[in-house]
Structure 1
Amino acid sequence: MSKDVFDIDKIALSIAEKIRDKGTKQGRIPFLTGDLRKSIQTESLGLGQASVGSNLSYARAVHDGRPAMTIKPKKGKYLKFNVGGQDIFVKEVHQPARKGKPFLFEAIAEMENEGYDFLDPILEGQGTEFLKKSFKKRIKLNWGVD
C-alpha cells in the first residue's frame, strides 16, 4: 500500500528522538549527576520541524564550549561556597575556557552514517533518501535559555 501524504511532523520528531537517544547514550554525553542527560528533550515545532535540546543554563556551554570567565558576586562583596564542611569566601573565581563536547552533533553524524532506515515503518519503505536530505535542515538544537 502506497501513501501519497506522509506525516512530516511525525517524521521530524522521530529524527529528533533518534538524535536524542544517540546523543545521550552512555559514554557520549558528559555525566556527573545525570541532570544534563535527563534534561535533553525533543519537541515537535510543526511544519515538519522538531527541536532537541535542554533548558539547563549550562547545557550549551557543555555542548559548544565556552571562553574563560571570571565570576563575581551579584550582591554583596563575596562569593560563598562550601568545601569539606567549611565555608569559603572569595571576591571572585576565575574559570578557564572549556572545550565543548558536541554530543548531539556526534549523534547526528552517527545517524547519518547509519542511514534513515528507522523511518521505514513511517514511510512504508518509500522516499527515505529524499526525506533524509529534506529533514537534515529541519532539526534544530534548542538550548531554551538564550
Structure 2
Amino acid sequence: MALVVKPRVDLFAGEVRQLLTGPTGPVLRFVRSVARKVRTRAVLKCPVDTGRLRAAHREEVGVRSGQVYGFVENNVEYAAAVHDGTAAHVIRPRRPGGVLRFETGGQVVFTTVVHHPGTRAQPWLREAMEEVAVPAGFRLVRS
C-alpha cells in the first residue's frame, strides 16, 4: 500500500483583492504573477539529488466561487519528508528473514535493522512563499 503526501501551500489575496477591482481582471493577473514568482523561487531553493523533486513543482491559479485562488505544490511522494524532515525511525527489511544492504565509508554493509536518526527539515517551499508572497500581501495556509 502506498501513501501519497501532497504538501500544498495556498495563496489568498486578502487585502490585495480589496484594493484591486474584479476577480477576473487585475487580481487574477496579480495572483498569477505572484504564484509564478513563488514557483521560480521554490525551484531555485529546492534541494537537489536526482532533480526529480526540483522538476515536480506546479502552480495553479483560478477563480472558484467568485474568489481568486492560487497555489504552488510539489506532489513527489517524498516531498513532505524532505520539506518537513523525519523523526528518528527504525528501518527493517521488507521480507521476513531478509537483510538490508547499503554502502557506508566505501564498504558494503549487510544488516537486519537500521536505527535511522531522522533527517532535518529543508522547508524550501515555505521559504519561497515567505520571501515572495508575504511581502506581496498574501497569507500562508497549510493544508
TM-score using structure 2 length? 0.62
Report how far residue 54 of structure 1 moved. 1.7
Amino acid at match of 1:64: D
* 1:118-137 equivalences in 2 (<5 Å): 132=137, 135-137=138-140
In structure 1, what is the equivalent of residue 49 of structure 2? 32
Q: CA deviation at 1:29?
A: 1.6
User: Which protein is richer in strand relative to its size?
Assistant: 2
Q: Indicate conservation of the 8 Å contact 1:80/1:87, yes or no.
A: no
- Unpaired segments ≥5 residues, structure 2: 1-19
State the identity as a percent: 28
Deviation (angstroms), 1:17: 2.4
Change in CA separation of 1:136 and 1:95 when aligned onto 2, cut-off 3 Å: same
Q: Which residue, 119, 125, 138 being the options, matches 1:104?
A: 125
Which AA in structure 1 matches 2:54? R
CA RMSD of aligned residues (A): 3.1
* Aligned residue pairs, count: 117
Match of 1:68 among 63, 88, 93: 88
Q: Secondary structure of the residue that 2:50 maps to in structure 1?
A: coil
CA distance in structure 2 between the partners assigned to 1:50 and 1:81 by the alignment = 43
Q: Give me the TM-score of the superposition, normalised by structure 1.
A: 0.61
Runs of 4+ that moved beyond 6 A: none
User: 5+ unaligned residues in a row in structure 1: which ranges?
Assistant: 117-131
Contact 1:23 1:104 in 2 (8 A): yes
